[in-house]
Chain A
Amino acid sequence: MRRDLVTLLILILLVPTLMCCQRNRGSEKGRMAVVISTLNNPWFVVLGESAASKAKELGYDAVIYDSQNNSAREAEHFDNIIAMGYDAILFNPTDADGSVGNVLRAREAGIPTFCMDREINSRDAAVTQLLSDNFTGCVKLGQHFVREMNQQGTYVEILGLVGDNNTWNRSRGFHSVVDEFPGLRMVAQQSADFDRNTAMEVMESMLQAHPDIDAVFAGNDAMALGAYQAVLAAGKTDQIKVFGFDGSDDALRSIDAGRLTATVMQFPVMMAEMSAVLADEYLDGKRDFDSRTPVEVILVTRDNVSEFLD
């Protein structure tokens, strides 16, 4: 109901714009929209640019839309994309539940959507969803965490966006391992929305309340690096181990330099490019797609980080 009202109000505001829009198939093969949850995080910039680049390589015009982690802005983008008659959407959602309606509206308008990296809670709204196996990645990370900590100690967790399935797949994957070891105790858990600066502030507060912790598990590398800055400022880098997730270049260099302890490598370029390829296959007539395709992720520690550095 509320979503419908928002959509109605946005449509009212957009009427003048929509009235003057013309369907313009800019290239011979058509156009793909690349809708990204936020371009405020380098990881998603790579995802979006890789998808757009591959779409262009395949002969399509491609435009990147930034939802700024805002589901209302995302809905606005979908309204525009539907009105402008795009041929396909390569989509990195802001919210597992809230984004389903946008994908369904696109489907009703005859525009197929291909989810990248982030999941929506629907079996059939999107044509397919190409997703990092976040849960399994954090099971691997959790086992490494347990061994690094010798099954003893206290730690804090910094979560990503609470509406994103990746946040909970990572957190629950990690806890499915660590909670089995009674010597490891979580003393605080707080969201920092996958944002580096927010994570630094959250970590500063956590350190004031829990100065004697032994480790931090952050739901992505940006937050892990923000947390590490707070740990560094507190002079506790020898005491506190920091674990992240993503395999960003900054995190890999940090592990190599002995700062972060571990991360999990995802493959955003491969996911983005494959999404564009799948969309191209769909537009060429293919219809046999799995609802989800998990993409394996790899634990990165000081032992194997050199394999991933340029």
Chain B
Amino acid sequence: MSKKAVNYIAGSLLVVVVIVLSIDIHSLDRERRRPVSEAFDVEEYVGHLWENLMPERLAEAADLSYLLELLGEDPDEAFDNYSHKLGISNTYYFYVSGSGVVEGIGEETVTVTVNETITTELETTFVFGNAVRDGSGLVDIDEFLNMMDFNMVSVYLNRKVKSEVIEPFMEELEPGTRIRFTGAAEINRLQDLPDPLRLIPIQISVSDGE
């Protein structure tokens, strides 16, 4: 075999080796089942957040009547003092509390009359998004290895809301029931204030009277 042929074969082999070593085969099933991050226990993280950290924040929630008044009179102060937002966004999240009487039960929401001029809606079906997580101001994106871990915190928090707040509440609910509530609201700063304001309920209790 000539030297030229040997060089040609060796060169070809080198190219083949480079190509083969460069190929990554991904199994779709493996990717689909892949844990978010092996080092991140989202259930434990959310459990700690829910049990130990969020109660204090919920106790500090803005009164709904006061917040709505402030949003009308001095929106900058309302957004600056009572909301949180994530990254580059016009969406702000608030923790809000109040009390009122259940007026009606719809497919997606429970309508609550707070007073003669204010009505709010508590989400019961579409409990999604980041209002509960980001309204708390407790979850720092820099703590997480990737966006998926960070986003799963919202998913698990919303599941807790569904199973531990909404489902038990719906069992004892009927129009005329007086309740106290604390929830998370999402408000876009560039759009008109939603009326009625919708909240994802985080705490609900039936109250005996005023």
Contact = CB atoms under 8 A, between A and B. Distances in A.
A290 B142 contact: yes
Interface string B27-48: 0100110100100000000000
B71 interface: no
B87 A294 contact: yes
Contacts of B152: 172
B17 interface: yes
Contact of B145 (A6, A72, A123, A135): A123
Given A10-B18, A168-B31, A168-B148, A293 B88 contact: yes
Contact of B142 (A71, A131, A176, A292): A292
A162 interface: yes
A165 B87 contact: no
A121 B152 CA distance: 15
A96 B146 contact: yes
Nearest to A274: B88
B87 A133 contact: yes
Given A71-B22, A134-B147, A123 B88 contact: no
Contacts of B129: 136, 139-140
B203 interface: no
B128 A176 contact: yes
A8 to B, nearest CB: 10
Given A136-B130, A169-B147, A293 B87 contact: yes
B11 to A, nearest CB: 10
Given A165-B147, A296-B88, A139 B128 contact: yes
B59 interface: no
B148 A9 contact: no
A121 B40 CA distance: 13
Contacts of B50: none
Interface residues of A, number: 48
A205 interface: no
Interface string A165-177: 1001100110011
A291 B142 CA distance: 6
B128 A121 contact: no
Contacts of B187: none
- Which bracket fits the contact residues of B? 20 to 34
Interface in A96-129: 96, 98, 119, 121-123
B142 A123 contact: yes
A70 B22 contact: yes
A207 interface: no
Given A9-B17, A98-B24, A139-B128, A172 B86 contact: no
B155 interface: yes
A140 B14 CA distance: 49
A143 interface: yes
Contacts of A139: 128-129
A5 interface: yes
Given A70-B22, A135-B151, A296 B87 contact: yes
A304 to B, nearest CB: 11
A287 interface: no
B91 interface: yes
Interface in B24-80: 24, 26, 28, 31-32, 34, 37
B26 A163 contact: yes
B81 interface: no
A9 B19 CA distance: 11
B6 interface: no
Given A6-B21, A72-B22, A131 B147 contact: yes
Given A71-B24, A96-B146, A176-B128, 19 more contacts: A2-B21, A6-B21, A13-B18, A95-B24, A119-B146, A121-B145, A123-B142, A123-B144, A123-B145, A133-B147, A136-B130, A139-B128, A159-B28, A162-B26, A169-B147, A169-B151, A270-B88, A292-B141, A294-B89
15 contacts: A9-B18, A71-B22, A71-B24, A123-B144, A131-B147, A134-B147, A139-B129, A140-B129, A169-B151, A172-B151, A292-B87, A293-B88, A294-B141, A295-B87, A295-B88
Q: Nearest 9 A-B pairs (CB), nearest first?
A: A72-B22, A294-B87, A296-B89, A135-B151, A162-B26, A295-B88, A293-B87, A162-B31, A291-B142
Interface of A: 2, 5-6, 9-10, 13, 70-72, 95-96, 98, 119, 121-123, 131, 133-136, 139-140, 142-143, 146, 159, 162-163, 165, 168-169, 172-173, 176-177, 189-191, 270, 274, 290-296
